Structure 1
Amino acid sequence: MRLLTFLWLLPLLAVAAPRTEHVFIFSFDGCNPTILQQAEAPTIKRLAAEGAHTWQANTIIPSKTLPSHTSMLTGVDISQHGIDWNDYFPMRGVVKVPTIFSLTKAAKPDLTTALFCGKIKFRHLWLKDSLDMFNCGGAYTYGPIPASEEKKLVPATDVAAQAAPYIVEKKPQLCFIHFPDIDSAGHKYGWASPEQMEAFKVCDGALANVLAAIERAGILDTSTIILTADHGGKDKGHFEPIINNTTIPWVAWGQGVKKQHSITKPTLYTYDTAATALWLLDVARPENLDGEVVEEAFE
């Protein structure tokens, strides 16, 4: 009888197991995928070629950094998460819907979650007890920050330098890493400018450094990597609802990912990233999620 019961439960146990042990989400702020394909970015391009990718994913409208990243990390559109501002306003508090970090912690408290960013406004996404590490050029405790830091901007090389040793030591199960340089260069010099092309190169190097840390941690073979962006850009902006601004890359690489696969899903949105990350870690997804799992990208 025990054997029969075990055999009956076996399919359920298989479904309940996480599809990967570690999920790393990298966001390249302002990454227009058309410009990316012209840039010197060997690491991004290698992962795209070896794994599953599309250069035709979509962000939300308006295509702004904080609202878009909120959708990326909550799985819902702006009509649900309500963050329609794009600067750090402490008085507005934190996002009012769960994030992938809070959902993961609620379901699996022993898992380690971390967020490394180049813009302090990501604090609006830090729900209490949802992150083991919030790092913006240094580790923060939960609570107010000095007014002098409300415009803080940390370049990709420094973000990677903060993330790498933490990953080696803590081996987080869910980790988000944000590189701001492409967006910063775009606003100052223009999208596809020589300065922005250099920023692509710098961010690609930062990605390579973090991947090396994942390998040193001994978890590369049990990790799934997602590369994406919050928005694209044109001229010196990205707010208009045009293709240059709303189209983003989406790349999956690593454990469980199809090899050399071009994703054909016609409506891949930034909030699908959240749904996919939760699915990979076998964390239950809220029924009101706008995001869908990008199952096509996985074996």
Structure 2
Amino acid sequence: MLGKKGFLLVLLLVIVSCKSTKSTEGANRKPLAKHVILIGSDGFGAYAFKKAKLPNLRKMMNGGVYSLQARSVLPSSSAVNWASMIMGSGPELHGYTEWGSKTPELPSRIIGEGGIYPSVFSLIDKQLPKAKKGVSYTWSGIGYLFEKNMVDLDFNGSEDPQTVDKALEFIIKDKPAFTFIHLTHPDNEGHEIGHDTPRYYKATEKVDELVGTIVETLKKNDMLDETVLIFSSDHGGIGKGHGGKTLEEVEIPWIVYGKNIQPKGKLTSTIMTYDTGATIAYLLGLEIPEFWRGKPITEIVK
């Protein structure tokens, strides 16, 4: 048995070990990629992969990792889920609770230096102050969900191709650490014509073509090998609406492809949309704040 001195020595070693572990938990890790691009397609339900021709997205799925069972938060509508995606937390904490939320209906648990619940942009701004970052979006509602005083690009395009062109111009010229590209289709067709219709699937195929344009442009400019692409959505839909509690509305695609991403294919992890923000932070080597509830999906990396 240990004597009194031996016991104290063991206790001291345990305390020192715990302190050492604690001190390194929050330290910045080496980034796994120089550039992360989040492509968000509004209203793109996971079920679209059953009927639509999506060669570029399928190439990313086969060469990277994916889940077609990732889930949105409730309600399964736009602002609440885009906020959750880049704020690393659900509406219970960030406070944006409705389709078109411009300000939190529920007081945010934390208010950051940007005047809103801290998003991935504020993490980058604080921990990588020299890094460029930007947002190019077609739906104007995105403009209320990030810290405008912290980005180098804030562009609201009139159509998805213009939104993508502006984002690529920024990416090629400024080599940003993080870019969020929001596409308004196929949500428009889902509301106007209906989900699970030929027009809806045609719109998803146009989104796929834009994804192909992004990948090819990165390749031509020798950036693809240093970039991680994440493709996801805010919700799916049924009929001409969304916001409910069906799997058609809640299940969203989650695809990751690029630098240091293993070609594992289908993921087994349970993924919530707020895990996207945490995964972006992980890929960029950032410390994830305590008040975020998302967790990085670490099985995606080599």
TM range, smaller chain: 0.7 to 0.9
Decide which of 118, 130, 149 is 2:150's aligned counterpart.
Answer: 130
Is 1:21 aligned to residue 25 of structure 2?
no
Flag the 1:20–1:30 CA change in 2: closer, same or farther, 3 A: same
Of residues 53, 56, 60 in structure 1, which corresponds to 2:73? 60
Distance 1:30 1:219 in 2: 29
Q: CA deviation at 1:91?
A: 11
Query: Aligned partners of 2:98, 2:47: CA distance in 1, in Å?
Result: 27
Give the 5 Å matches for 1:240-255. 240-255=244-259
Task: After superposition, give the CA deviation of every residue in 1:231-254 in whole Å (9 maximum; x if it has no partner).
Answer: 011111111111110100111111
Amino acid at match of 2:257: W
Alignment of 1:104-123 (within 5 A): 104-123=124-143
Correspondences of 1:191-270 after superposition (within 5 Å)? 191-265=195-269, 267-270=270-273
**Letter aligned with residue 273 of structure 1:** T
Does the Cα contact within 8 Å between 1:279 and 1:293 map onto a contact in 2?
yes
1:189 maps onto 2:193 in alignment? yes
- Aligned-pair distance for 1:95? 6.7
2:264, 2:160 → 1: CA distance? Answer: 28
Identical-pair percentage: 26
Matched, 1:279 2:299: no
Note if 1:291 corresponds to 2:294: yes
Of 76-85 and 91-100, more deviation after overlay is shown by 91-100
Q: Partners of 1:287 and 1:297 in 2: how far apart?
A: 22
The one-letter amino acid paired with 1:262 is: K
The 3-state SS of whatever aligns with 1:181 is coil
Residues 157 and 202 in structure 1, CA contact (< 8 A), matched pair in contact too: no
Contact 2:278 2:294 in 1 (8 A): yes
| Structure 1 residue 17 displacement after superposition | 1.1
Could you give the per-residue CA deviations for residues 193-245 of structure 1, whole angstroms, max 9, x where no partner exists? 11111111111111111222222332110111111111011111111111110
Q: Which amino acid aligns with 2:295?
A: E
Q: Distance in 1 between the 2:45 and 2:115 partners? A: 26
What does residue 108 of structure 2 align with?
A: none
CA distance in 2, matches of 1:272, 1:91: 20
1:102–1:131 contact (8 Å) kept in structure 2: no
RMSD between superposed Cα atoms in Å: 2.1
2:7 counterpart residue number: none
* Larger-gyration structure (1/2): 2
User: C-alpha distance in 1, partners of 2:266/2:124?
Assistant: 29
Aligned counterparts, 1:40-79, within 5 A:
40-79=53-92
CA deviation map 1:230-281 (0-9, x unaligned): 101111111111111010011111111111321001x210000000000110
C-alpha distance in 1, partners of 2:73/2:115? Answer: 17
Query: What secondary structure, in the 3-state scheme, does the structure 1 residue paired with 2:150 have?
Result: coil
**Aligned counterpart in structure 1 of residue 95 of structure 2, from 82, 94, 118:** 82
Shift of 1:89: 4.3
Where does structure 2 lack aligned partners over 5 or more consecutive residues? 1-23, 106-110
Structure 2 counterpart of 1:97: 117
Note if contact 1:55-1:249 (Cα within 8 Å) is conserved in structure 2: yes
Give the drift of 1:40.
Answer: 1.6
Q: Which moved more, 1:29-38 or 1:51-60?
A: 29-38
SS of residue paired to 1:115: strand
TM superposition score normalised by structure 2 = 0.84
Contact 2:91–2:97 (CA under 8 A) maintained in structure 1? yes
Q: CA 1:261–1:41 in 2, change beyond 3 Å: closer, same or farther?
A: closer
Runs of 4+ in 1 over 4 A off after TM superposition: 88-95
2:131 partner letter: L
Residues matched between the structures, number:
270
8 A contact 1:101–1:130 mirrored in 2: yes
TM-score by length of 1: 0.85
Which amino acid in the other structure matches residue 229 of structure 1? S
Q: 1:197 to 1:95 in 2, by over 3 A?
A: farther
Tell whether 2:190 aligns with 1:166: no
CA distance in 2: counterparts of 1:43 and 1:95, whole angstroms: 38
